[in-house]
Every structure is written in C-alpha cells, then in structure tokens.
C-alpha cells in the first residue's frame, strides 16, 4: 500500500509540476494570439490592446496561474480565444479521435508483437527470426516521420486508401455497416504507420527478455524434469519476461495521447495533435495548456497503471518495496 | 562472430571518414546555386556512345525543356560528352576545416556536371549536400548522445549511490521530463533565442537541447545498475576495508556500467540523428544554406516535391543506412555484453 | 447499350430531382430581388471545397481569421458588394444609394420584402443594430476601425423602414467600398445576447442552425468538429438569375478541413473536393500534368495584389539596448545602400524559382494585377551587379581581398534577415537574396522565425536587422493601405511610431495619401496615387521583390467557375456556382 501511495503522490506532484512548467514556457515565448491582426493595416493597436486585456492576457503570470489552478480543480480548463468556447469540451471531442487511433494501434501492435517476439525467441536463428530481426532493425532505425511520409506518398500515388480526415464527406447517409467500413478505411494509413514503428520496438524487447529467461538455470532444470514446452512457456518463462514488457506497456499507455502528433499531422487525422499544434503556433494560451495537461494526465496515468500492474505481477517488488520499472531503451 | 563485428565496425568507421572528408568526396560546393537547373534529375552515367564502349563513364548536360505551360522538365543535350575523371580539381574547400585544397574525388570539366543525386530547388548538387549534411546530422547525433549519457550517468550514479531522497527527487524530475510533449515547446523556443546564431552555435544548441531532454532514460538505467551493484559482496567488502565513496565508485561500480553505456550509445545515436532530422524538418535546426539531412528532408513536406522529385529522398536513405548500421552495432555489443556477464 | 445508358441517366436525374432538396420558390410579389442578368445554370447537387485550417467561429463581428471568413461570407449579406471580377461596387441589400454633394452623407435604399434565412423580415432596424454592434467599444470588433475616420465614428440613422443614412466625419474616397464585408445581423436573434454583454460568445461553431440566420446564399446545416461544415441553400435568398430563378443553384456546399495546402491538392486529386483555391505554382503544374484531370478547370488569374518585399529596420532605437542593430542602421539608412541591393536582386529568379514562373516581379507596391491603380511609368531596371557595385563604391564602400564588402569605417557588411518559417515562399526568397547579395560581398544570415515571434520583433521589440514580408491583397483601392504609407500609420513598418515624418519624401507621401483619401474623382485620385507610387519606388522603404499569380482549380463539373484576384478567390460567386450534368461535363473546359 505504501508503494502505491507513494506513486500516487508522485503522480500528483508531477501534474502540478507540468502545469507550472507549461505556464512558464508559454510565457517566455514572445507574441500573443492577436499579433496576427497587427499585420492588417486596417486594425488599430487600441483594438488589439483592448482584446488582449479582455482575455486577461495582460495580467501577471502568477495571477493567471492561480486563477487557472482554481478552475482546473473544477475540471474547467479555461477558454479558447480562437474558438470562443471552453477548452475542455473542445479537447475532449478531439481526444476521442486520437484515442480511437492510438488504442487501435496499441491493440494491434501488442497482438502482433508479443506472439512474434516469443516465437522468434523460441525458434532462435530460424528463417522467421532472421527476417523479423532485419525488418525490426530497419523500422526501429528509420525516423517515424520518414516512414509516415513514405507511406503517404505510396497511398496517394496509387489511390489505395482515402487520405485525410476520419470519415468521408457524406458519412451521415451511410448505413451502419458502411460507416464502420469508412472509418476503418480512413484509419488504415495512420494505424499502419504507428503499428510498423512500434511493433519493431516491442518485438525486439519481448524477444530479448524471453531469450534472457530461456537461458536461465531454473528453466534448464525444469526442462530436465521433463516439463512440456507449453507449460514451460506459460508457467515459467512468460511471467518473468513480463516485467520489462509491462514497463513497455506502461510507456505505450502513456503515449496514447501524445505519441501520434506526427502521424496525425501527416495523415490529416482530426485528433488532438493538429489542434494543439495550431494552438501553440497561434498562442491560444489556455487551449495549449489544457491540451498539454490532458496529455500529461495520460502519461502520468499510464505510468501509474504500469506501476500497479508490476506490483501485482512481480513478488520481488512487493517484498523489496523499492523496485522500479525496468527501462525500455 | 568476431569477423562480423569487425566488418560492421569497419563499415561504420569508413562511413564516418567519408562524411568527415566530405569536401573531398563531394564534387561540388553544397551551397552553390545553379538557377538554371532547379529540380534536375540525377545525371545518367553512360558507358556507350556511337563510337562504342568506353571504360570511363561520361555524362550529358541537362537542358531544360519548356513546353507551353512551363512544366520544367529536362532533356539530355547529346551534343557534348563530358567524361568523368577521378581525383580532379574543382571548387576550393577546406579539408577537415583546416587544409585548403581543391582536389575532389571525381568530377567533370565544366559546364558538364555530374549530379549523382540530382539537384534541389535552387539547383544545388544533392549528392554534395547529402555528404555535407551528414556531417551535421551524424555529429549532432554523436554529440547529443555524449551529452545525454554524461549527464544521465552522473545523475544516475548520484541517485543510485546515495539513494532514498536524492533518488526519489531525481527520479521525479526525470519523469517530469519524460512527460512533457517537447515538440510543442521547442517550436516556441527558437523565438526567444538571439536572432543570429552562427551555424556552430545553433548546432551546439540543438544537440544540447536533444541531449538534455534525453538524459532521463540513461539516468534511470545507470541508477538501476548502481543500485544493484552497490550491494554486491565485493563492494561491501571493499567498504569494510575502508574504501572511500569515490574509490568504490571508480574502482568497482563504474566499470559495471561501461558495457551498458556503450550499448546505450549505439542505440541512442540513431535516435538522436532521427531527433535532429525531426527538429530540422520543423525548422528548428541549422538554417540555410547549411545542409543537414533534416532540413533537406523538409522540402518533402510539399506535396508536389514529394511525388515528382524522387531523388530528393536521398537524405532519408542516408539516415536509414546510418541508423541500421548503428542498430546492428548495438545488437552486437549487447549480445557480447550478455555473453560476458553470464 | 447506349439507349439503356441514356434511359438510366434520365431516370437517375429525375430521381435525383425528386430526392434532392426542393427547388426554391419563385420571388413573391413585394419581394425586391436583385437580378443577375448574365447568370444562368440549373439547380441541384453539392460541391466540396477544402480549407487549409479550421474555421474558429461563425460570428461576423469578432472573426479574425480568413478561413472563418470564407464560411461566414457565404452565410451573410452586405449592403453593398464589391464584384470580385470587375473590382467595382454593386448594389446588394441596398438597391440604390445617393451621395450628398460634399461626399459625406450616404443615403441607402434597402430592398423591400427581403427575409433572413429563417424567414424573418429584414429592414432598417437590423442595419442600425448591426452597425451599433460593430462600433460598440465593448465588443472590440476588428471591423470597428474601418468605421472610424479621423478618430470619429460614422453616424448611422434610420430615416424610415427601408432607408438608412450614413454620415462620415469627412469625405472619404470610395466610401461605399467599406460596406463590403460588413455583414447585416438579425436583430431578432442577437439583440438579447448583445444587451446581456455576451456578444463575443454568440454564434460559435457549436451554434444550433436554428439560432443563426443571415442574408447570404446559404445557411448553416451542420458542423462536425475537426472535419467539416455543411451549409445548405437559403430558401429566402434575394438574388435571381437571368430567367428569374431564385439563386443559389447548389443544394449544399461542404467545407472540408483538410489541414494544409498540400492536403488540399491531394484531396482534389483524389476527387474528394471539387474546388481548390490559392494553389502554389508547383501544385498547379502538377495538376495540369495529371492525365486523370484532363477536364479540370485550372485557372491562372494573373498577378495578385499582394506585394513581397525586403524591409530594413529604420526605427528610432534610442532608449532600447540594441547597439548592434543601431550600428547597422548607418548602412540601412543610406538610400544608395538600398538602391544597390535593389539593383543586385535577381527578381527573375524569384519569379521562376519561387513562383514557378507564375508570378510577376515588382519594383513598386502596386503590381500588374491592379489594373485600375498601377503606375505604368515606374522604371523596371534589369538586374545588374555591376551597377550595384558602382553605387556602393560611390557611397564609400570597398572590398577587401577576400571579396567581403566593407563600409567606410572598414567594418564588414553583415546582417540577418528574418522571415516567417511557415511561409516557404518567403523563405525561398530570403535564401535567393542571400546568394544574390553574396555577389556584392555582403554576408546575409537567413533566420526563419515562427510567425508570431517575427511579428513581435517587427512591431514591438524592433530587435531585427531586416525582414522578408508581404502585405496587401485585400482590396485594389489605395485607402486600406493608408496605415502603411502614412508616417504615423500603425503599419508603417520600416519606421513605426513616427511623431513627425522623418524625411521630406515621407512628408510629401503623407500629404499625397491624405489628399487621395478625400478626393472623390477617380482621375484626380489616380494622379495623386501615381506620384505616391513614384516616391515609394524611388526611396525604397521596401525593396519590392515579387508577387504570385492567383491560381485556382475546379473539377470539370463545376459551372460558372470564375476565380478572381481578390479574396475569396473562388467562392465570391458561390451563389452562382452549379453542378453540370454529365452531358455538359464532356463538353470540356470553359
């Protein structure tokens, strides 16, 4: 209990730290939302100044931070200057789209990577192992950006899939089945990019940790006792190999909201990423901060869940009390 | 196993040497614009002409063909042949930034141009730019890795060795660093830097930023290692014999970390090259006219360039090749480490 | 086989006619319609247009971004419109107007019997209400400044139910152009929110279609966050075509948020959108090469009204700790220095490499796209590095053995040029300039900055040497540019905050601009503005570089596609667009 309690406290402190850092960094970036209007010779600086003060942009940092904290405790993350609507519903409507994308990618990645990793570890040196190793080395090395742009070029050139958006223009008139198909078609490209990049990483880790366990003494002993390979796998190998995998899962969960920015931008997926990017560039202050806090919430939450899962899985942590998540690298 | 490692290391070293002496291997200056030849495709090397087969390849010059709509396509001008010579005289440059010379590995007599990877939007030779760009990108990766590992190790050792509160605070800070979506902040950071930074300073700033964001993972790794070795019997024994903290660290604990750090390094270099590529892609890296693989790839953001001028993908291939080589190195080091420790 | 296909087509068309939105009613008696005598087409269908980023609001009073205005403009109606094709004003909601002899009072006659898109009648009360909202200081509308001339607001009075009088504090040339873009608001829907002080929150994107009404050709049907806005035909629209059929022809218009210009092109290529406006030259050439788009209507409308330039920091820096910049100003302030730079700039390459030969070089602020106001007598000297070198030599500059340019005190000439990193064309211009000026021995550093960071330096901190920027493109008339050329103007970029004109030519420019603002006769105004252009081209406060052509494209099935050089380039005549049937499609490109 102490372990969980400590983690929880740390998580909360972390969130507060992120919010403070956010405010500080956005304060340091020069310019404000209304600067775009300065270029228009027909708008007077008085109007711009009046607009700034109406949205409280000329208040000192501490005051703004304090006010924001107070309302944040009521789940009110402020007001978006650009959209003239409260931040929270705006973020949530877009976060849903991002979560659809990343959760699908997460499920597919793990469903492919874990069996693949275990299999190639068990059949080490075989043809499958060599192919998978080569492919994963390739996809791990290439920057995600390059993969995204390459796949995009292929898809557009040969009109394989619809590009951009989550649904087609006349989505509303589709039947339920056609609607599902439409979303799947639009999901295909961004999910493929994410899956390709992440599977490579996870396969290597799963393979490595399974291999490590397979080489241990107690496995040899169990084998000597005549345990069947299946029982060996599920009873002895997997639970131990799970530790680093759970950490990885924690990282994956943590990245649910923030990891897909690049892909969303390149593929035109209407998620949180492009919204936040535009908000950052246009200095829509509370939208940016709200969005980062949303992401941070997921990150911290994901790590926390991973910690709890580790606690349940690994008795050594329960005993020692100071174990930590093994590192993914 | 040994042979494979040796070949791998040799190839990597060779690659770095080529990049280091980019001035020699590149036929042209990377910043010279040729405004008559924007987006020219790679020149084809010919071995056969009307008079038969030649051992020495030759090229034709590109002439632009304008149809009524200015589509800007190119045709080979077959009136003149320009043989490709090796070890030629070309534009002046400074080898390793020190020796002034004008000897290049290959080239052709002007106005013939050997454009192995074509040209970019300003008519600059892409092949030369890839070589010079590699200097920036690979150096950025290596420097950032060094910074990250150094900072991470120091902090990880402190955290692991002194334990409890120091540990908790440091780990909390690393989690903070890992939680923030840095891309958003970095997009605003360029703004409040001094207006003109020389290329060198921008380069160091960039690598510093990448390295300082990336110290978190190595720190945790080193910390874990220090924690586990801190309680080993021989360390306890040494302490019992009166060894000071520094002595223990230097003699017993640190050596444990070297192998892991080396593997980490081999893993991080391609990651940080990718980080430089990504940051430069978004305009946060070295600026024109200095090439880096990242800012060369940013021209691919334009759809028309993406699908019309395939030779501009060359920097991507360069990134991929370098990254794959480093990944293999990491794999090899990792398995060697494992076989030594068991 | 052909007969079967024909029958099928006929059946489909008939079926479509029945299935589609009902055709609007003919004009009722007492409803005064505006007849567009040269417009014809037929009803039905929908068109999709891609937008580079998302609209932020539907409130015409508080809107600041162009994307939102593109949508709002289709939903709202103005008293007087500027026909983007002819660039002249036309009666709109005001069927006629009289101007008093002193040019200060405008009396507008409104059309009778016109209704908002929700059926409510429109009259002078709505006009008075709208203007009181625009001019209310508490609302802080960006459009308020348009209605303040010489610091005094316009006075709006209702004379009777269909007559409104506008009195300007002093005569203002082409004042009726002010009315384009000032949407008339429905008093019955917005008055309460306005009185309660919540006007800024009115008509956000989440507004229910029943709560928003306008006098434009379309009305809001649906908003899907992050994806699209769908607008449908306004059954009460007050324009009819040649055959007295009520416009618009389209059943629906869909705005798709595609995210970027490249995405716009991709979707257009894939057939998901029907219209694409503001293409870059490379994309235009790409589309014209694509075989599958052989029937597409790709239009090159010629040079736009925007002007791109190199700007030097000539601000008064006393009191600011900007010594390095201040030292360099000794170079920038010398007219000969700027003349040399202007002579060395390779404008041809800019047009070729940046605009893909679809653009025009500029030597003044008015380009060939503005046929009404351009001064044809301004010299266009070709590039000459030799001339530039001679000018520099006569100004006391010299070159050292390494070819570097040194000023009279022996300091090497080196400065940085900032530009917006999000505008790839201006970045390219800056890079070309860098190379051009290196032939003079100058060392230029190109510094791409994030847009707002650049604005901050140019308008606030003055911490910059030079910048590549662009202005203009709004309207052909010189009046909107007053703040750029007037020495006290807020967009007088090279020297902001001048209390008095800093030099003789600026004083003369001030006088010219003031005079042309109050001169009502076009010929006299042209003379004044010609002289102003001459002064600007001679004294080079900006070193003008070039302007792109306006390039737009539409699918072959879009009828009445007439893109214009003024914003909104393709949708300004959205009420006249129609979807061609299959027979008309094969007739090919207009």
Per-residue confidence (pLDDT) for residue B297, from 0 to 100: 84
Chain A nearest-CA distance from C64, in A, is 7
Residue in C with minimal Cα distance to A274: C259
d(CA B18, CA B10): 12
Across the strands, what pairs with C405?
C399
Q: Taking the C-alpha atoms of C40, C45, C49 and C55 in order, what is their torsion angle to the nearest 10 degrees?
A: 100
Determine, for residues C262 and B188 on separate chains, whether the beta-carbon distance falls below 8 Å.
no
Candidates A26, A141, A328; nearest CB to B270? A141
CB A165 within 8 A of CB A187: no
pLDDT (tens digit, 9 = 90+) per residue, A64-84? 888 888 888 887 888 888 887
Residue A279 tokens read as: 């908000």
- Distance from the C321 Cα atom to the nearest Cα atom in chain B, whole angstroms: 13
CB C261 within 8 A of CB C277: no
Q: Which of B33, B121, B191 sits opposite C450 (nearest CB)?
A: B191
Q: How far apart are CA B90 and CA B107, in angstroms?
A: 7
Q: Is C443 exposed, middle or buried (0-12, 13-18, 19+ CB in 10 A)?
A: middle
pLDDT surpassing 50 at residue C357: yes
CB contact under 8 A, A164 and C254: no
CA–centroid distance for B224 within its chain: 29
The token pair at B160 is 């692991």
Work out the minimum CA distance from C440 to partner chain A, whole angstroms.
32
Confidence of residue C529 (pLDDT cuts 50, 70, 90): very high
Say yes or no for a CB contact (<8 Å) between A142 and B320.
yes
| Beta-strand pair C443-449/C252-257 | unpaired
Give the residue on B whose Cα is nearest the Cα of A279. Answer: B184
pLDDT for residue C18: 45
For residue B99, the model assigns a pLDDT of 79
| Higher pLDDT, residue C454 or B302 | C454
pLDDT of residue A323 exceeding 50: no
Q: How far is the CA of B182 from the CAs of B185, B264, B295, in angstroms? A: 5, 22, 19
State whether the Cα torsion C413-C328-C306-C278 is positive or negative.
positive
What's phi and psi for C111, nearest 5 deg?
-70, 140
pLDDT in tens, C83-131: 988 888 999 999 999 999 888 899 999 999 999 999 999 999 999 999 9
Contact B319 A142 (CB under 8 A): yes
Packing angle of the helix pair A144-157, B314-341 (nearest 10 deg)? 130
Neighbours of chain B (3+ CB pairs under 8 A): A, C
**What is residue C15's predicted lDDT score, i.e. its pLDDT?**
45
Contact C266 A156 (CB under 8 A): yes
Residue A42 touches partner C, C-beta closer than 8 Å: yes
The pLDDT value recorded for residue C110 is 93
Cβ–Cβ below 8 Å for C286 and B121:
no
Contact across the interface for B71 and C418, Cβ inside 8 Å? no
Q: What is the pLDDT of residue C490?
A: 83
Judged by DSSP in three states, C361 sits in strand
Partner residue facing C450 (CB), from B33, B190, B288? B190
Q: What is the pLDDT of residue A320?
A: 55
Q: Contact at 8 Å (CB) between C540 and C335?
A: yes
CB C114 within 8 A of CB C215: yes
Query: For an interface test with C, which of B37, B68, B194, B195 has the most C Cβ atoms less than 10 Å from its Cβ?
Result: B195
The Cα C558–Cα C253 span in angstroms is 12
**Which pLDDT value is given to residue B199?**
66
| Per-residue pLDDT at C589 exceeds 50 | no
Residue numbers in A near C225 (CB within 8 A): 90, 93-94, 270
Q: How confident is the model over A156-172, as a mean pLDDT?
A: 75
Residue C135 C-alpha, separation from nearest chain B C-alpha, in angstroms:
35
Percentage of chain C beyond pLDDT 90 is 51
Q: How many CB pairs under 8 A join B and C?
A: 89
Read off φ and ψ for residue C497, nearest 5 degrees.
75, 25
Chain C positions in Cβ-Cβ contact with residue A93 (cut-off 8 Å): 225-226
Instruction: State whether residue B57 sits within 8 Å of chain C by CB.
Output: no
- For residue C427, which residues of chain B lie inside 8 Å, CB to CB? 288
Whole-number Å distance between alpha carbons of C79 and C90: 9
The pLDDT value given to residue B188: 56
The two three-digit tokens of residue A230, written as one number: 């299946």
Query: What are the backbone angles phi and psi of residue C484, rounded to the nearest 5°?
Result: -85, -40
Residue C150 near chain A (CB below 8 Å): no
Residue B303 distance to chain C (closest CA, Å): 5
CB contact under 8 A, C140 and A47: yes
Whether C232 shows a pLDDT value over 90: the answer reads yes
- Chain A residue numbers touching B224 (CB-CB < 8 A): 324, 326-327
Give the pLDDT score at C185.
Answer: 94
Q: φ, ψ for residue B26 (rounded to 5)? A: -90, 130
Q: Please check whether residue B316 is in contact with residue A146, taking contact to mean a CB–CB distance below 8 angstroms.
A: yes
| Interchain pair C452, A35: CB under 8 A | yes
Closest residue, chain B, to C346 (C-alpha): B35
Is A146–B183 a contact, with Cβ atoms under 8 angstroms apart?
no
Task: Flag if A14 and B172 touch (Cβ within 8 Å).
Answer: yes
| B64 at interface of C, judged by CB pairs closer than 8 A | no
Closest residue of A to C141, CA-based?
A: A47
Of residues C283, C357, C457, nearest to B303 (C-beta): C283
Task: Give the number of A-C residue pairs with CB atoms closer than 8 Å.
Answer: 142
B168, B180, B328 ranked by CB distance to A18: nearest:
B180
- When scoring A29, A34, A41 by the number of chain C Cβ atoms within 10 A, the one with the most, hence best to mutate, is A41
Q: Which residue of B has its CA nearest to C356?
A: B70
Alpha helical stretches, state H, B120-243: 126-162, 164-179, 182-189, 199-213, 216-230, 233-240
pLDDT in tens, chain B (342 residues): 577 778 888 999 999 999 988 888 888 888 888 888 888 888 888 887 777 777 778 888 887 776 544 556 788 877 888 888 888 887 888 777 777 888 888 888 777 788 889 898 888 999 999 999 998 889 888 888 888 888 888 888 887 777 677 777 777 777 777 666 666 666 555 555 555 666 677 777 777 777 777 777 777 777 777 776 676 777 777 778 777 777 777 777 777 677 778 877 887 888 888 888 877 776 677 777 788 888 888 887 777 787 788 889 899 889 888 888 888 888 787 777 766 654
Question: Which residues in chain A (88-147) have CB-CB distances under 8 A to chain C?
Answer: 90, 93-94, 97
pLDDT score for A52: 83
Cα torsion angle, B19, B20, B24, B26, sign: positive
- Chain A touched by C422 (CB under 8 Å): yes
The pLDDT value recorded for residue C215 is: 94
- Convert the pLDDT of each residue in C291-342 to its tens digit: 566 678 889 999 999 999 999 999 988 888 888 899 999 999 999 999 999 9
Q: For A156, which residue in chain C has the nearest alpha carbon?
A: C266
Distances (CA, A) of A294 to A19, A75, A99, A258: 10, 11, 12, 9
Neighbours of chain C (3+ CB pairs under 8 A): A, B
Which is it for the CA torsion A104, A109, A112, A118, positive or negative?
A: negative
pTM comes to 0.82
pLDDT in tens, C285-296: 888 877 566 678
* Distances, alpha carbon A27 to alpha carbons A280, B185, C73, C291, in Å: 12, 11, 35, 51
| Cα-only R_g, chain C | 26
Farthest CA pair distance, chain C = 88
- Residue C395 has a pLDDT of 92
Nearest chain A residue (CA) to B163: A322
Predicted pLDDT at C85: 87
* Phi, psi angles (nearest 5°) of residue C113: 75, 10
Asked if pLDDT for residue C19 goes beyond 90, the answer is: no
Cβ(C173)–Cβ(C525) below 8 Å = yes
Selected residues 259-298 of chain B with any CB under 8 Å from a CB in chain C: 283, 287-289
B188 contact residues in C (CB cutoff 8 A): 450, 453
Residue of B nearest to C463 (CA): B195
Q: Is B278 on the interface with A (CB under 8 A)?
A: yes
CA geometry: angle at C543 spanning C278 and C436, to 5°?
90
What is the pLDDT at residue C293?
61
Q: In whole angstroms, what separates CA C256 from the centre of its chain?
A: 21
Output the pLDDT for position C396. Answer: 92
Q: Which of residues 260-319 of C touch A (CB under 8 A)?
A: 260, 263, 266-267, 269-270, 272
Task: Report how far apart, in Å, the C-alpha atoms of C189 and of each of C40, C131, C211 are.
Answer: 34, 15, 7
Across the strands, what pairs with C83?
A: C88
Q: Which residue of A has its CA nearest to C62?
A: A84
Inter-chain CB proximity B320 and A258 less than 8 Å: no
Residue contact B191–C453, C-beta within 8 A: yes
**Interface contact flag, A41 C137, Cβ < 8 Å:** no
Q: Which residues contact B228 (CB under 8 A, 6 or more apart)?
A: none
Q: How far apart are CA C397 and CA C406, in angstroms?
A: 6
Q: Which residues contact C583 (CB under 8 A, 6 or more apart)?
A: none
What does the pLDDT look like over A224-274, one tens digit per residue?
787 777 777 777 777 767 766 776 777 677 667 767 887 887 788 888 888
Instruction: Note the pLDDT of residue B189.
Output: 58
């Amino acid at each position: 209990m102490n372990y969980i309690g400590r983690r929880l406290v740390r998580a909360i402190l972390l969130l507060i730290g992120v919010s403070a850092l956010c405010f500080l960094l956005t304060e340091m970036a020069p310019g404000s939302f209304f600067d775009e209007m300065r270029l228009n010779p027909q708008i007077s600086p008085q109007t711009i100044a009046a607009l700034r003060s109406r949205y409280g942009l000329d208040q000192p940092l501490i005051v703004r931070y304090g006010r924001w904290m107070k309302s944040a405790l009521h789940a009110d993350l402020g007001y978006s200057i650009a959209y003239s609507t409260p931040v929270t519903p705006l973020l949530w409507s877009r976060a849903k789209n991002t979560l659809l994308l990343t959760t699908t990618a997460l499920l597919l990645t793990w469903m492919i990577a874990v069996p693949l990793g275990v299999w190639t570890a068990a059949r080490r040196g075989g043809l499958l192992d060599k192919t998978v190793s080569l492919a994963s080395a390739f996809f791990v090395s290439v920057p995600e950006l390059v993969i995204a742009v390459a796949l995009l070029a292929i898809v557009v050139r040969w009109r394989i899939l619809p590009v951009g958006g989550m649904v087609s223009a006349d989505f509303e008139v589709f039947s339920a089945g056609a609607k599902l198909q439409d979303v799947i078609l639009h999901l295909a490209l961004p999910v493929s990019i994410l899956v390709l990049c992440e599977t490579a990483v996870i396969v290597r880790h799963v393979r490595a940790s399974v291999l490590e366990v397979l080489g241990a003494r107690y496995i040899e002993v169990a084998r000597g006792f005549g345990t069947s390979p299946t029982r060996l796998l599920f009873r002895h190998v997997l639970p131990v190999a799970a530790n680093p995998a759970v950490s990885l899962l924690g990282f994956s969960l943590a990245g649910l909201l923030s990891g897909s920015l690049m892909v969303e931008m390149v593929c035109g997926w209407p998620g949180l990423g492009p919204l936040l990017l535009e908000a950052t560039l246009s200095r829509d202050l509370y939208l940016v901060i709200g969005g980062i806090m949303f992401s941070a919430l997921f990150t911290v939450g994901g790590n926390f869940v991973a910690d709890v899962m580790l606690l349940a899985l690994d008795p050594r942590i329960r005993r020692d009390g100071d174990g930590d998540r093994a590192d993914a690298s | 196993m040994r042979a494979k490692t040796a070949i791998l290391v040799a190839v990597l070293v060779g690659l770095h040497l080529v990049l280091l002496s980019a001035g020699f291997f590149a036929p042209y200056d990377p910043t010279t614009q040729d405004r008559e030849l924007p987006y020219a495709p790679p020149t084809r090397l010919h071995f056969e002409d009307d008079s038969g087969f030649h051992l020495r390849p030759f090229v034709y010059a590109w002439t632009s063909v304008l149809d009524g709509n200015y589509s800007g396509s190119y045709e080979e001008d077959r009136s003149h042949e320009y043989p490709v010579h090796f070890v030629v005289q070309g534009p002046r440059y400074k080898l390793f930034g020190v020796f002034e010379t004008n000897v290049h590995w290959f080239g052709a007599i002007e106005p013939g141009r050997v454009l192995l990877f074509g040209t970019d939007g300003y008519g600059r030779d892409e092949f030369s730019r890839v070589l010079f760009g590699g200097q920036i990108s690979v150096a950025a990766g290596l420097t950032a890795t060094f910074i990250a590992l150094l900072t991470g190790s120091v902090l990880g050792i402190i955290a692991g060795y002194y334990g409890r509160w120091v540990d908790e605070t440091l780990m909390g800070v690393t989690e903070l660093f890992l939680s923030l979506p840095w891309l958003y902040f970095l997009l605003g950071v360029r703004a409040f830097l001094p207006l003109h930074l020389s290329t060198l300073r921008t380069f160091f700033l960039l690598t510093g930023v990448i390295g300082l964001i990336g110290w978190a993972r190595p720190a945790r790794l080193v910390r874990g290692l220090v924690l586990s070795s801190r309680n080993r019997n021989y360390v306890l024994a040494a302490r019992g014999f009166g060894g000071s903290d520094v002595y223990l660290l230097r003699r017993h604990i640190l050596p444990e970390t070297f192998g892991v750090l080396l593997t980490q390094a081999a893993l991080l270099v391609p990651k940080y090259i990718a980080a430089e590529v990504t940051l430069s892609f978004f305009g946060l890296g070295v600026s024109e006219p200095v090439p880096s693989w990242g800012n060369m790839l940013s021209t691919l953001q334009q759809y028309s360039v993406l699908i019309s001028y395939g030779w501009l993908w060359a920097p991507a291939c360069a990134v991929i090749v370098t990254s794959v080589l480093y990944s293999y190195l990491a794999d090899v080091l990792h398995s060697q480490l494992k076989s030594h420790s068991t | 086989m052909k007969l079967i296909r024909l029958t099928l087509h006929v059946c489909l068309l008939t079926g479509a006619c029945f299935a589609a939105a009902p055709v609007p009613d003919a004009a009722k008696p007492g409803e005064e319609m505006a007849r567009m005598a040269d417009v014809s087409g037929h009803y039905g269908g929908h068109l999709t247009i891609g937008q580079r980023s998302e609209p932020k609001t539907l409130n015409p009073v508080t809107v600041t971004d162009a994307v939102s205005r593109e949508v709002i403009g289709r939903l709202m109606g103005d008293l007087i419109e500027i026909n983007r094709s002819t660039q002249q004003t036309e009666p709109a909601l005001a069927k006629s107007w009289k101007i008093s002899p002193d040019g200060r009072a405008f009396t507008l006659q409104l059309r009778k019997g016109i209704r908002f898109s929700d059926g409510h009648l429109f009259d002078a009360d709505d006009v008075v209400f709208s203007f009181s909202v625009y001019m209310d200081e508490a609302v802080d509308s960006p459009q308020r400044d348009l209605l303040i001339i010489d610091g005094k607001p316009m006075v709006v009075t209702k004379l009777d139910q269909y007559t409104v009088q506008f009195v300007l504090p002093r005569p203002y040339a082409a004042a009726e152009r002010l009315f384009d873009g000032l949407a008339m608001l429905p008093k019955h829907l917005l008055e309460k929110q306005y009185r309660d002080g919540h006007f800024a929150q009115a008509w956000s994107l989440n507004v229910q279609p029943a709560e928003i009404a306008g006098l434009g050709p379309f009305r809001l049907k649906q908003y899907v966050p992050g994806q699209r806005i769908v607008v449908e035909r306004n059954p009460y629209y007050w324009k009819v075509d040649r055959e007295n059929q009520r416009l618009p022809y389209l059943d629906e218009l869909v705005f798709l948020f595609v995210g970027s210009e490249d995405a716009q092109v991709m979707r257009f290529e894939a057939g998901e959108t029907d219209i694409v406006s503001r293409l870059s030259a490379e994309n235009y050439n790409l589309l014209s090469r694509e075989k599958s788009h052989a029937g597409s209507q790709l239009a090159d409308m010629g040079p736009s009204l925007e002007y791109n330039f190199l700007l030097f920091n000539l601000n008064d820096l006393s009191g600011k700790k900007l010594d390095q910049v201040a030292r360099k100003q000794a170079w920038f302030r010398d007219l000969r220095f700027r003349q040399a730079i202007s002579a060395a700039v390779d404008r041809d390459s800019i047009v070729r490499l940046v605009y893909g030969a679809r653009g025009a070089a500029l030597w003044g602020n008015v380009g060939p796209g503005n046929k009404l106001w351009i001064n044809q007598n301004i010299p266009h000297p070709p590039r000459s590095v030799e001339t530039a070198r001679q000018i520099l030599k006569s100004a006391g500059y010299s070159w050292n053995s390494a070819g570097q340019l040194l000023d009279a005190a022996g300091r090497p000439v080196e400065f940085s040029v900032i530009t917006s990193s999000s505008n790839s064309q201006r970045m390219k211009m800056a890079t070309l300039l860098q190379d051009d000026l290196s032939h003079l021995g100058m060392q230029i550093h190109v510094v791409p900055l994030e847009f707002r960071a650049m604005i901050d330096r140019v308008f606030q901190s003055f911490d910059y040497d030079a910048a590549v920027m662009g202005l203009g493109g709004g309207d052909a008339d010189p009046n909107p540019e007053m703040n750029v050329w007037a020495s006290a103007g807020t967009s007088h970029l090279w020297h902001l905050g001048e209390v008095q004109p800093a030099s003789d030519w600026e004083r003369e420019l001030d006088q010219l601009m003031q005079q042309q603002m109050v001169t009502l006769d076009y010929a006299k105004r042209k003379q004044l503005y010609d002289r102003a252009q001459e002064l600007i081209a001679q004294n080079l406060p900006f070193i003008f570089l070039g302007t792109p052509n306006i390039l737009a494209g539409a699918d072959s099935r879009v009828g009445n596609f007439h893109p214009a050089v003024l914003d909104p380039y393709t949708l300004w005549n959205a009420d006249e667009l129609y979807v061609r049937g299959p027979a008309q499609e094969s007739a090919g490109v207009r």
